[in-house]
Amino acid sequence: MSNPKKNIENVRIDYDKSLIDFKSIDKSPFDLFDKWIEQAFVVDKENANAFVLSTVSNNMIPSSRVVLMRGFSEKGLVFYTNYDSNKSKDILSNNNVSVNFFWPQLEKQIRIIGKVEKISAKESDEYFKNRPLESKFGAIISDQSSEISLNYDFSKKLNILKTDNKTKSPKRPNNWGGFRVVISYFEFWQGRPSRLHDRLCYTLDSNEWKISRKSP
């Protein structure tokens, strides 16, 4: 079997599936986001809402991980997590974050910059109530990002929790809930031939979206 690492510098894709029509662009980045996310769900409904969230700790160490978008409006982008996790600790010490969606089937990418705020307990309760039961158990049991032994077994905790909640749905734990990324910048990237990619930017300035284009 050949070693793919030997040829990695020669892997090439010529992007040619679409383009951004700069003569007819949406005035609102949220409208364009809606159009692109709809296209993404058509080609990959299981992963269309997955994005890379990048944070920086109070020691100025960057971290990135994939999370799932669970809501989007002009108020911002919503995701849920354990408030004791490393990502939450980063956010609580420095709420500036970067978000990146990439849909290779569409040759599209959206980069977002914003500040994170906690959503209300009511919103988190409402979302938690509608989660699958097994997902609720997972949120309650997991001390996310804490160090555990290599052979740690969650089954005992899980079985106890299932027994205690045979006749009722568990409540949301206080250390689990939602965050909202309040967006100040969008960059819509469309792959183009010869690496001359389209880059359409929206920057929030005095409550208005200023539109610009960047060189590839």
Active site residues: 195
Residue 214's Cβ-count burial label (10 Å; 0-12, 13-18, 19+) is exposed
Cβ atoms 25, 36 nearer than 8 A: no
Task: Yes or no: say if 107 and 190 are a contact pair by the CB < 8 Å rule.
Answer: yes
How many Å apart are CA 209 and CA 216, to the nearest integer?
A: 21
DSSP at 195: G
Give the Cα separation of 93 and 58 in Å (integer).
6
Residues 6+ apart with CB under 8 A from 201: 185, 186, 187, 188, 211, 212, 213, 214
50: number of CA atoms within 13 Å, CB side? 11
CA triple 68-73-75, angle to 5 deg:
105
Neighbours of 170 (CB within 10 A): 16
